[in-house]
Structure 1
């Protein structure tokens, strides 16, 4: 009897030591993208979704990691494969973190490298979609923008348990908008309305006792297409569009107007900074941005003695973004009344 029990125990131990096969990966039939239509703005490297904490793909309990592969991009109207999406281009990619403390343009550029990428890609394991901005923006002229129907594309999703193809996702790019705020319709390309500064405070009208508001000032973005420099100039114009000397804004913190390199250059018509683009360079909070870091913020100010001997702080400024490199100007035009720089 003891021998029988010993034999049974030994057999049980041997059975317990048998290595069971690992569970096979599971790929759910319900796995898929949480949206099917994507509308990036050309000229801006766009990661979709924009929120880094948002989920664009519902794995539906599939075993991770999943692998994503772009299969084809087709013209939505003709069904033809589109050659521009099969090519790779030079794009600028951050390899080290931007801090906003860089003192030279060279210091910024050492943190960015040129890589080869397709214009439109899917990230291998997150499923995020990326529309890249090529170094040569002329290539974007080959991309059809709305109101054209755009493109359809397929993505293969796989793990060791199998694969599935998600068909007929939609890519409908919007035309370039090189700056914000913008008065360019992203579909038609037509201009509409007037751009206003985001801040106008305490500025008295030269001709009476009223105070100017943002509705009394127009803001103009202008790019010098002949220049090869990367600069940003701020100009101020009176109601007759004559230049106002920027040094009249004599309490401005000129070093904090924008992230620049070297000393600002003043003329009687404006102040110019050497910069790197885009502005802001990254979506982080710095001394040159809004609190949330999503836009640059430039403020210009002066003081005057008002009624009763009270000092008045007078401010004009704007929140903005510029995506396209070049020699840019932002012009503040006091078209409805001139600022009063005089003391009472």
Structure 2
């Protein structure tokens, strides 16, 4: 009896399996037949009438990798292609400079921040030719870092925005469901600012930025300010400050001569503009200041061989915890009142976009840091 039950169940399973297969073939046949009988069209891709860009005024900074735009496809089906067309100035003159081709670095392997040499970094990227301004397959615009002030004229130095100085262009958007054109996207690039922070730099003229407290004073200027924590003045015996009101310590980011072409140097000047020996900042983790190699320590500076830009990629690393800027922090300590050890730190969060030999100089303008124990 038990054997008979098992056999019956197996026969039922086989029967229902055959029935299901027959039903499936029937559905396919009926569907195919209906399509022929009623002449139904093939399913078509969908291109929404509401496709657009989140931002139609593009204001990138020349000399950097600027990924901007933000395409809104409104559920249009992929793949979608994009093409920049009808590039012109506001007065109708054709625009051609954005299509200038230049070699630019493209990553072929992931940068991690753990690379142990410039050669290992360079093995992960290669030079490719690209138009200095492009639209990507994602619908985002990119101004490549290979663009320069000479190749792409920046916006006017007087900060005006006349149509004849503004580049306009349209974008043709296409998929197999159709095509549409988004018109009158504007490109107003800022001139190169090779480093950040750049509050000492006039974004329109490229000259020195005015003093924010007295912008009409031609003899005044703005400075890059470091962060300062418990840095006590040697003479004043008070915490040193760097802000709009007090500039006890300022920072210069500037090129220097005599490097390798891939050098970065840190220097420290006292109130008499004499070099402070970096060894005085004895608790600094020099190997974590920047992703650099072949460190040289002298009585006047600490120098590294580096790959540019800095940071190389906007990801969090031990050198750039926030991703977009390198965190350079210098530390020292002394015995304070009551015999307790007091730690002082200062530094800067910075980025460097242009290859070369650069130095970052901390100038203690009004008072020197106090190193002596109490």
Q: Check whether TM > 0.5.
A: yes
Alpha-carbon distance in structure 1 between the residues aligned to 2:264 and 2:60 = 26
Alpha-carbon distance, 1:13 to partner = 8.6
- Structure 2 stretches lacking a partner, 5+ long: 1-25, 210-221
Q: Aligned ranges for residues 35-50 of structure 1 at < 5 Å?
A: 35-49=55-69
Equivalent of residue 241 in structure 2, options 213, 220, 234: 213
Of residues 217-226 and 29-38 in structure 1, the stretch that sits farther from structure 2 once superposed is 217-226
- The count of corresponding residues between Structure 1 and Structure 2 is 320
Matched residue of 2:293: which SS?
A: coil
**How well do the aligned residues superpose, as a CA RMSD in angstroms?**
2.0
Equivalent of residue 273 in structure 1, options 304, 307, 317: 304
Alpha-carbon distance, 1:167 to partner = 1.7
Which residue of 2 is the match for residue 301 of structure 1?
331
- TM-score, structure 1 length as denominator? 0.87
Alpha-carbon distance in structure 2 between the residues aligned to 1:202 and 1:244 = 18
Q: Is 2:194 the partner of 1:178?
A: yes
Alpha-carbon distance, 1:28 to partner = 2.4
Which residue of 2 is the match for residue 196 of structure 1?
225
Alpha-carbon distance in structure 2 between the residues aligned to 1:15 and 1:228 = 76
Stretches of 4+ moved more than 6 A in 1? none
* Rg comparison, structure with higher value: 2
Q: Aligned ranges for residues 142-153 of structure 1 at < 5 Å?
A: 142-147=151-156, 149-153=165-169
Alpha-carbon distance in structure 2 between the residues aligned to 1:289 and 1:119 = 27
Whether contact under 8 Å (2:82, 2:173) holds in the other structure is yes
Matched residue of 2:190: which SS?
A: coil
Alpha-carbon distance in structure 2 between the residues aligned to 1:340 and 1:25 = 71
Whether contact under 8 Å (1:200, 1:316) holds in the other structure is yes
Whether contact under 8 Å (1:150, 1:173) holds in the other structure is no
Q: Aligned ranges for residues 111-150 of structure 1 at < 5 Å?
A: 111-124=124-137, 126-134=138-146, 140-147=149-156, 149-150=165-166
Q: Is 2:350 the partner of 1:336?
A: no
Alpha-carbon distance, 1:121 to partner = 0.5
Matched residue of 2:150: which SS?
A: helix
Q: Is 2:110 the partner of 1:97?
A: yes
- Structure 1 stretches lacking a partner, 5+ long: 1-10, 50-55
What CA deviation, in whole Å up to 9, does each residue of 1:17-67 have, x standing for no partner?
325543212222222212211011000011114xxxxxx222233232221
Which residue of 2 is the match for residue 4 of structure 1?
none
Alpha-carbon distance, 1:293 to partner = 1.4
